[in-house]
Chain A
């Protein structure tokens, strides 16, 4: 709290204390408890944001310790590791910066190296500058993440932003020669006329001030200084060898395996026919990962009775809330897989020999590249071949030790490349799993200080899908050669089983690698990581089901909470596979991991389960339900909860004494499933059923038809997800709960996708999109890059609909409890913890399989953390993921949940047969399709079936409660003492330790273990908004409109939302448009100015605004103009922050100034005129018109599928700045485009009229000179003549 600063640091009060620079930071404590050791600034820097890559950075800082040498730092051995491994991410970054500064670098140099801009994929970069970054990239991986960093060493003061520009930085220079850089505009009260200049930093930009020379250095100047210090380009040219292959590498497998050898390898490495056909083949045929639907209903590998891949024990970590995922598809410009091979050298002694590296474009090797690398042994890159085969009589641990010994000795002997290989099978020997070997060798080399002298290459049959590669790289592999995947593909080609053009077959390996690369980008971006260098060795996995013995030797430092398989178990698995492999009578396994198959992996929604449930709900016969419940409750151990048994502590009571079914129904929600994924019939049947029960249905992310509002078909929970489809003020006020979907169990850290064939006219109307065009929800919410942002969104929602509870949906992973505590402090009312097993309408199969952890772990952690922080009573806790029976509900309650989400089970009740074809629009049961015939003729679902299902579940709950002697449901919540651990059925299960789930952290139990507060009221009461509403109430009620004026400040957040909510409640989105409330405001508006703006609200702001202006706008008008007496040039000056008009569906915005990054992202109907915009403008746009009267940043129009834009291109370089994938540009010319010329001129005239824009007036004045500089930007699929026609029709 700033008011205590003077008390804590009395020296700050001393009048003799003078400073020319102040660096400060006020934090929102997302950690469980605010602690002084986490206070900013650190020694040199203050950091707003997160370092997503910190785990990898720390790992490399440790490994690199022995390499740092400088005359100024003769001996570092006393202070190793050089960065903190336990403090905050900012602290580690500060440590590293301090090391570099003490070692002799200046702050600009150090920061550009640590947090570089995106340079690999940028075409237009200066070659010398590129060389600077490339040189240092071989010695330091990026410290990436949403980062606004300010720092000073006393001489230089710098501010820098991450490559994605995910944190805002606004600066202002006033006449008193003060320069202020802050993450918001308007942080102190300068007079408008005192402003000399204002601006913002863009992605990857730096602003520096030399206090000695008083020189202000912008990005360009900084880069010029840095690149000219050494002849980096010359060094690289002499030192770097690029391994390029010819475009076509026909020798996919130079020595093809014969069929028997292939079968031997496939059996040894557990490749099934299913994996071959559904995963490997698709990667090559489609150059991307296979897509599937529904969830993962198989046991975690440690619970399975089958031999599962070691990789299956590893769950990909993903960013949620406190740090964002990034968008590897639409913002690929920041992504890179560039990989180099060679020893690392001392960073403080730049020299040409340090540039002697081999550079690969990707860590996925072709055979040719591997051979080239091996051949380099003759030219100074010696390698060591390490055979992973070991005598089957040895134990696995000794075998691993031997591998590590060989590796260590080799590096000591100067070997630079270690090639770990399981390629040469010998009968009587078994392969050490490549992942065990990679992890063990990496850790051994780090411990012995040798890691940075070598590179680990892995030649393995175990790597086939992107997750496999991610694991190997994440535990230290530099590059991977997946020979068995190539051999398998070669065989498919040989058999004629590949559906590709003959010409494409030549490039089979390349196609496969492209698919893997996309998958790797996706996996990295889930953690918000842009470059593979930062991902390598970062160990971004949670291990579920390996013992400490294994983790300690191979994966030290990874999260692993419940023990499990040890070396003996893994060896037994390998022995089993080897025995089958060498037996020619044994066939390659058919599969069963993706789909149910007799004799294959157990599936929790197998045909028996589905069929019995359906017959029970159709007949309404509880006996039949019990058959279903018995199938589920007595299945082979498949979930963590299956190893927990209820242990009643009281005598049974008559069931009549247990609380009623209807009280229990109120705890049931249906999980978010969008209209779009589901047919309208299924979606409505579900809503009706839940409403009849007194439970709640969830709209999912796809809007809802307004005719359903106020009826039995209304969804009480309205979802707000990253695509913001159909999120209008009217939608929001027709909800009891507003759910922010941060992540989804089936694919956490990723966006959604609705394939084009499911977007029919109705879906397009509700989502404000174009029929037939696929819709993608971005991986991040573009307005949530931090917990503060989430708090802001929660506030936005509570402003527009104060009666609604706000819920935040998270997915279980280590640390979710901390995130949840932050979410509770951000004033959410409800938190959902989803398990990995949640369903989806469409997702890459590898996401369904490999991300997210069991909800049991996440729920327990969350419940415990919330209790420890005395937050549990303030917030409702829900869980979902594979819940099927009353027993599931009771166990979830005992672990800590008070509310329960059901997705798949009610779908099955409606006729879904778990076909896993939702993404194909051909659901034969009519549940998950928009196909008219299938919906009309074959959908059999009735609300009663769902009603029956929930009645059964509630009845079973009551019976269990009666048997436990429990009367009231709240007596269950969090009472883990009523659960006992079962011993387990298999060797691996018996080694699990579930005590962390059942621990109550030694907390005294008199605090409520469930929510008792009616709602979680924000600290900010929004007094200004309440006053405005008071003033306008009459005008809204009568629909008469009126004029009002106010002064605003930047702590007035979400201005307008409160009024828009009231308007929408009375008049809907547009009902008041004809008699608007005209509100004049002066000053610097806080975040989310004009959010969820409804028709009939016109906001005129003289001053400036921050992020999220007009977000979710449905109608009305927002006008921004600079203060009347400003002396700066408005057209060059930023007037609003980032992510404005996000998800807007209508209305108009005029701004006499420029906008920040991601302007009009996911715009689907608003009209906007601005005078310049940052990067990623019009991203994901599906409708509306955007007119930019000035320069735009890079990556304009990525994912742009509807609406159109006009862009003024004075520098004639727009062609390099737009994303060419989906849009094309046409020059506006008077010939043949008269109607567009007229339209554009009209827009500029309206702009001038609204804002008094000087630039706009000049354009109109000399319109003929400027007209040729304008582009019309439109989706490739749209005809230019149709644009205005569509616009008229939409209006």
Chain B
């Protein structure tokens, strides 16, 4: 028998098995398998229950990680699921797509050489497995207040907000312009990271909890905001950021140059059998693809292109490998799947006349830290080179995209287009329109799913206080 207190040494960290490369590069299936109960218990038992739970501290929603690890270790799956849902509305999603290596697992005490506890995989295991065994959130104690709140946007912030509201007896009605819930969870994140029936399962659960979804409704176009404001006691806006950061160099408008998000959405539409004529299907089969940008979205584009059968995929990033923002796990998976990375390369032009022929790059080196602490890349003159490309995907990040009707609704913005909230500390995430709350990317700028979840939940608390 192993010594419980030394389990972290005696049993090494073991991630769930991955599909073999040859299989996974041809399909849009999730590449990680699920732990069995025994492995999950063993891996969870590696947690040493630190007096300072660095994992929980680093986690944006402050999951009670050591506590549910202990429950998994004890085989108390439903209790773990219950506890996991106390701090997180979408644990099965976060378990899949959070960059744990930069968050909980990166902060794990055991990450100094011993091997962090595989927190993400266990988080995913808990909810998937609990759902499979029939667990549902316990709503028996909920006392209906009769209040109703409109939630605009069925992305992570909106879903999280609706979850907390429903658990507190407020009826949320969620509007979304897409035919399915999830926002970027459905349409942005490729299925090989998050299969779409996971989102469907969540929808089922939320409907069971009393959440109503009104889909294919674009607020401001299909229904006016005034109507919503009149119908509901409060409104939550979680509409995300859909503007694109531009490179600002020549050739960005050439045929064959794509923004990351339309590219990803078109692929998912095809996978889901959704026909969106406006968007069409952007296919990379056989093409030499260059992806510009080293963030999570860039990684998603890389790996989508690989699966579409691209001839080659090259990803360029203007800082070095260590400073690349994308999740280490996705980076590693991209490399395994055949993506070529070019570091310290900054694009200065997309070359071609009628269509893309190549990308002109220049070498960079890291200069002094900028205002946010990250070192700014400086161009090394005389290092231009052009690499060939049939298609270029630009993944430089997202910008706020506030609709015009915000102005007349007295919803004020920051200079960069983000929604202004929390002027009065008693109602967190309240916009300048007292009845309207907002959270997620449209408030904080493009960020992680888990931070959007956090803001949606916090905003729900603000709404609950507002409604009292």
- Cβ–Cβ contact A915 & B48, under 8 A: yes
Q: How far is the CA of A590 from the CA of B71 in the complex (A)?
A: 14
B54 CB contacts on chain A under 8 angstroms: 607, 611, 913
Residues of B14-69 contacting chain A, CB below 8 A:
48-54, 56-58, 62, 64, 67
Interface residue B197 (Cβ < 8 Å from any Cβ of A) = no
- CA distance in complex: A898, B159 (Å): 59
Contact in complex: A917, B50 (CB < 8 Å): yes
Are B56 and A584 interface neighbours, CB within 8 A? no
Is the CB–CB distance between A595 and B53 below 8 Å?
yes
A705 to B52, CA, bound (A): 32
* Contact bitstring A924-942, B, C-beta under 8 A = 1, else 0: 1100000101100110100
Contacts of A931 in B (CB 8 A): 6
Contact indicator A934/B9 (Cβ below 8 Å) = yes
Instruction: Give Cα distance in the complex from A595 to B62, angstroms.
Output: 14
Contacts of A920 in B (CB 8 A): 5
A635 at the binding interface (Cβ < 8 Å)? no
Stretch at the interface among A508-516, A598-606, A715-723: A598-606
Query: What chain A residues lie within 8 Å of B223 (beta carbons)?
Result: none
Nearest CB of chain A from residue B75's CB, rounded to whole Å: 9
Quick check: A595 and B5 within 8 Å, CB to CB? no
**Residue B222 is within 8 A (CB to CB) of chain A in the complex:** no
B107 touches A607 (CB 8 A): yes
Binding site for A on B (CB under 8 A): 3, 5-6, 8-9, 48-54, 56-58, 62, 64, 67, 74, 76, 79, 86, 107, 109-110, 112-114, 141-143, 167-169
Let me know if B50 and A584 touch, CB within 8 A.
no
The 8 closest A-B pairs by CB, nearest first: A916-B51, A598-B62, A607-B57, A922-B5, A915-B50, A584-B141, A914-B52, A920-B5
Residues of B within 8 A of A594 (CB): 51
Chain B residues contacting A597 (CB-CB under 8 Å) are 53, 56, 62, 64
Contacts of A940 in B (CB 8 A): 112
From B57, B67, B107, A590 is in contact (CB under 8 Å) with: B67
In the assembly, what is the distance between CA of A605 and CA of B58, in Å? 15
Q: Evaluate contact between A915 and B52: CB separation under 8 angstroms.
A: yes
Report chain B residues within 8 Å CB of A211: none
A585 within 8 A of B: yes
Q: Cβ of A870 < 8 Å from any Cβ of B?
A: no
- Residue of B56, B112, B167 ringed by the most chain A CB atoms within 10 A: B112
Judged by a CB distance under 8 angstroms, whether A235 is at the interface is no
Q: In this assembly, does A260 line the interface, its C-beta being within 8 Å of a C-beta of chain B? A: yes
Assembly CA distance A352 to B277 (angstroms): 103
Q: Is there contact, CB below 8 Å, between B52 and A605?
A: yes
Closest to A586 in B: B168
CA distance A913 to B114 in the complex (A): 15
Q: In the complex, are the beta carbons of B9 and A598 less than 8 A apart?
A: no
Residues in A with CB closer than 8 Å to B62 are 597-599
Contact residues in B for A584 (Cβ distance below 8 Å): 141-143
CB distance from A684 to the nearest CB of B (A): 21
Q: How many angstroms from the CA of A496 to the CA of B79 in the assembled complex?
A: 11
Extra inter-chain contacts (19) besides given A587-B86, A922-B5, A938-B114, CB under 8 Å: A260-B141, A497-B74, A585-B142, A594-B51, A595-B51, A596-B57, A597-B62, A598-B56, A598-B62, A599-B62, A607-B53, A916-B52, A917-B5, A917-B49, A920-B5, A922-B6, A922-B8, A924-B8, A925-B109
B5, A915: Cβ atoms under 8 Å? no
CB-CB < 8 A to A608: which residues of B? 57
Binding site for B on A (CB under 8 A): 260, 273, 292-294, 495-497, 584-585, 587, 590, 594-599, 603, 605-608, 610-611, 913-917, 920-922, 924-925, 931, 933-934, 937-938, 940
- For A598, give the chain B residue with the smallest CB separation: B62
Closest B residue to A937 by beta carbon equals B113
Which B residues are in CB contact (< 8 Å) with A921? 5
Known: A584-B143, A607-B57, A931-B6. A916 touches B50 (CB 8 A): yes
| Interchain CB contact under 8 A, B141 and A585 | yes
**Alpha-carbon distance between A495 and B77 when the two chains are bound, in angstroms:** 12
Complex alpha-carbon distance, A676 and B53, angstroms: 25
The closest CB in chain A to the CB of B86 belongs to A587
A584 to B145, CA, bound (A): 12
Which residues of chain B come closer than 8 Å to A922, judged between CB atoms?
A: 3, 5-6, 8-9, 48
- In the complex, A916 Cα to B49 Cα: how many Å? 9
Q: How far is it, in angstroms, between the C-alpha of A585 and the C-alpha of B138 when the chains are bound?
A: 11
B51 — which chain A residues lie within 8 A by C-beta? Answer: 292-294, 594-596, 914-917
Q: Known interface pairs A606-B52, A915-B52. Does A590 touch B64 (Cβ–Cβ under 8 Å)?
A: yes
CB<8 Å pairs between A and B, sample of 29: A292-B51, A495-B79, A496-B76, A497-B74, A584-B142, A585-B143, A590-B67, A594-B51, A595-B50, A596-B52, A597-B53, A597-B62, A598-B57, A599-B62, A607-B107, A608-B57, A913-B109, A914-B51, A915-B51, A917-B48, A917-B49, A922-B6, A922-B8, A924-B8, A924-B109, A924-B112, A925-B112, A937-B113, A940-B112
| Secondary structure call for the B interface | loop
A585-B169 in contact (CB<8A): yes
Q: Which of B48, B53, B76 contacts A596 (CB 8 A)?
A: B53
Q: In the complex the two chains form, is B52's CB within 8 Å of A610's CB?
A: yes
- Closest residue on chain A to residue B107 by CB atoms: A607
Q: A294: which B residues are within 8 A, CB to CB?
A: 51
When distances are taken between beta carbons in the complex, the residues of chain B under 8 Å from A914 are 50-52
| A913-B113 in contact given A497-B76, A585-B141, A934-B9 (Cβ < 8 Å) | no
Closest to B57 in A: A607
Q: How far is the CA of A922 from the CA of B9 in the complex (A)?
A: 9
Q: Kindly provide the distance from the CB of B213 to the nearest chain A CB, expressed in whole angstroms.
A: 23
Q: How far is the CA of A260 from the CA of B86 in the complex (A)?
A: 17
| B residues near A598, Cβ cutoff 8 Å | 56-57, 62
Residues of B within 8 A of A585 (CB): 141-143, 167-169
Q: Which of B109, B142, B168 counts the most chain A CB atoms within 10 A?
A: B109
Measured CA separation A235–B56 after assembly (Å): 64
Residues of A with C-beta under 8 A to B76: 495-497
Q: Which A residues are in CB contact (< 8 Å) with B53?
A: 595-597, 607
A294 to B168, CA, bound (A): 39
Residues in B with CB closer than 8 Å to A934 are 9
A938 CA to B48 CA, complexed, in Å: 15
Instruction: Give every chain B residue within 8 A of A596 (Cβ-Cβ).
Output: 51-53, 56-57
Query: B8 — which chain A residues lie within 8 A by C-beta?
Result: 922, 924
In the complex, what's the smallest C-beta–C-beta distance from A272 to chain B, in angstroms? 11
Nearest neighbor of B110 in chain A, beta-carbon distance? A924
Q: Chain A nearest CB: distance from B373 CB in Å?
A: 12
Which of A260, A584, A607, A916 gathers the greatest number of chain B CB atoms within 10 Å? A607
Distance between B340 CB and nearest chain A CB, rounded to angstroms: 34
* Cβ-defined contact, B167 with A595, below 8 A: no
**What chain A residues lie within 8 Å of B113 (beta carbons)?**
937-938
Contact B57 A606 (CB under 8 A): yes
A599 / chain B contacts, CB cutoff of 8 Å: 62
Taking CB atoms, residues of chain A closer than 8 Å to B112 are 924-925, 938, 940
A1202 CB to nearest chain B CB (Å):
24
Asked if B52 contacts A913 (CB within 8 A), the reply is: yes
| B residues in contact with A917, CB < 8 Å | 5, 48-51
Least CB distance from B463 to A in Å reads: 13
Given contacts A585-B141, A585-B169, A915-B109, contact A607 B52 (CB under 8 A): yes
- Cα distance, A216 to B49, chains bound together (Å): 65
Point out the residues of chain A lying under 8 angstroms from B50, CB to CB. Answer: 595, 913-917
Nearest residue, chain A, Cβ from B82:
A587
Complex-state Cα separation, A800 to B84, whole angstroms: 62
Query: Nearest CB to that of A274 among chain B residues?
Result: B67
In the complex, what residue of chain A is closest to B143 when comparing beta carbons?
A: A584
| Alpha-carbon gap, A924 to B109, bound state (A) | 7
Q: Which residue of A lies closest to B141 (CB)?
A: A584
Q: Report A-chain residues with C-beta under 8 Å of the C-beta of B168.
A: 585
Inside 8 A of A495's CB, which chain B residues have their CB?
76, 79
B52-A595 in contact (CB<8A): yes
Kindly name the residue among B6, B53, B58, B110 whose own CB sees the greatest number of chain A CB atoms within 10 A: B6
- Measured between beta carbons, the chain B residues less than 8 angstroms from A587 are 86
**CB-CB under 8 A for A273 and B110, given A598-B57, A598-B62, A915-B51:** no
